[in-house]
Structure 1
């Protein structure tokens, strides 16, 4: 209990813990729809465009007082949502080869990020925290931002759940029944963008997509239905975040790595368990 209670003693650890709980809830839920719809790589593309937003904010903060006082998370969210809208636009441009939109945005995000990092005279501690997460860098502002995103995304998920469910398993029938495929997909990809941007403080930009896919992959091994897959994905996601954060703090490691390693171990356990 002492190992866990330390996270409730200090404000910066409470910020990280409660933010992690919300991220561990949201990421696997959206990950279920991403995996079922075979869109897992969208998370990677949006995480890399988010990197560009963070790097741009840190760069502008060196020369402009406004951006120096602004939480880089906000510009990261703007870039992430902008990337989601661009992916949707490119999917309409390349209707026959819609999957092309993902590597285009992913490559563009990496390219922009490298340019901004180079202009900012290279790598710094702040950027490292955004890349791989940090237990001590989550601020009260980050916590409130993540809380707001959690509320917004949860409401949207409840409202669009049936539409997302039908589009995931029978797209043609869903369209025939009158579901606006373009609108639902647009709302969904914006939700993914918001969750990715909000998760980077805990998991890190480069590893956030793992939290959307690994708990889902583990749950698919033992779940006996779509609802069970939701439940197990959330449980595995929360376990990965909690164990990962505790390990990161006590071993002085980046939480992104410990969270993902924990998620991988959970996946391996479910694979072994299923074989038996």
Structure 2
């Protein structure tokens, strides 16, 4: 295939697969916790890390990971201990992260706001071997955590009080979810961009929830959707010269719309099947089990 002849597209496709796996794998816990916009906030903070990476002449992905992890931990602590002023503190953290990224990028010798846009919206053609190595290492950590601790993370995301009663380290697991989300933002920023990464963490999960009824099925379907739209968007960006991040997100939204349209007839079919099974079970009950006319029920 022509698309595989270019080395940069080979790296881009590998990065797209890794992003398609990691973003929904973490997003399913954020959606369950009703923190769908957490990835967007971390993306703002990670901009400071990108600018700092250019200023210090280091790999922006690794620096963005360090800064976004610190920001995610701060966000989780504000959520856990913040009171009425918690939302103001988060707003200042988000806007400060964005402003810091722009300022540091302008101060750096090899950076500019034009180069920053490749991190804001994704740029597959600029994914280097070092970038792909960093993405692969970080993605491995995300996959290991999201799969290896899926029962504990789901329990905490579903009901913190119940998880605490069962003896789970709720505070540590909450911080681990925040850190994993921060790492995922760093993984995805070269493909979909910092401003769009939250959509890839949330939309595939929301789409999968339309037709799935269990955590395991939702997880598998969300990851499948994430990989599918990431590969499709990357391929479209090569042949049609369109922005990869925006294309991937729009494809994910399109899948959500289609599955939402299919959800209603599937729900009616399940309801009819359930009603039929109940009727069959009722017909199988011996007549002696039925109450007589003079018995009040």
Asked if Structure 1 and Structure 2 have the same fold, meaning a TM-score greater than 0.5 normalized by the shorter chain, the answer is yes
Q: Deviations over 1:175-203 (max 9, x none)?
A: 01111111011111111101101110001
Q: Which residue of 253, 258, 261 corresponds with 2:247?
A: 258
Of 33, 38, 61, which aligns to 1:37?
33
Cα drift, residue 104 of structure 1: 3.9
Between stretches 6-15 and 178-187, larger displacement belongs to 6-15
Q: Which residue of 2 aligns with 1:242?
A: 231
1:81 to 34, 52, 69: 69
Distance 2:86 2:61 in 1: 29
Shift of 1:100: 5.8
Q: 1:21 aligns with which of 14, 17, 21?
A: 17
Q: Tell me if structure 2 keeps the 8 A contact 1:92–1:98.
A: no
Q: CA deviation at 1:87?
A: 1.3
Counterpart contact for 2:124–2:191, Cα < 8 Å: yes
Tell me by how many angstroms 1:235 deviates: 1.2
Distance 2:246 2:184 in 1: 19
Which of the residues 117, 129, 151 maps onto 2:140?
Answer: 151
Q: Secondary structure at the match of 1:222?
A: coil
Contact 1:85 1:186 in 2 (8 A): yes
Partner of 2:175: 186
The offset of 1:53, in angstroms, is: 1.3
Partner residue, 1:227:
216
Q: Is the 8 A contact 1:135 1:254 kept in 2?
A: no
Cα shift at 1:217: 1.0
Distance 1:100 1:175, change over 3 A: farther
2:124 aligned counterpart, secondary structure:
coil
**CA offsets, 1:87-109, max 9 Å, x none?**
13323441577666643432222
**Distance change (3 Å), C-alpha of 1:275 and 1:162:** closer
Matches within 5 A, 1:128-143: 128-143=117-132
Mark the structure with the bigger radius of gyration. 2
**Counterpart Cα distance in 2 of 1:231 and 1:93:** 34
Tell me, what secondary structure is at the counterpart of 1:206? coil
Further displaced range: 5-14 or 233-242: 5-14
For these two proteins, the number of residue pairs brought into alignment is 264
Judged with a 3 Å threshold, the aligned counterparts in structure 2 of structure 1 residues 101 and 21 are, in CA distance, closer, same or farther, namely: farther
Q: Distance in 2 between matches of 1:235 and 1:104?
A: 36
User: Structure 1 residue 157: deviation in Å?
Assistant: 2.4
Which runs of 5 or more structure 1 residues have no equivalent in the other structure? 61-66
CA distance in 1, matches of 2:145, 2:202: 21
Match of 1:169 among 153, 158, 161: 158
For 2:132 and 2:191, how far apart are their aligned partners in 1? 11
Report the TM-score when normalising by structure 1: 0.88
Change (3 A) 1:33 1:92: closer
TM-fit CA distance, 1:146: 1.1
In structure 2, how many angstroms separate the alpha carbons of the residues matched to 1:7 and 1:56?
Answer: 34
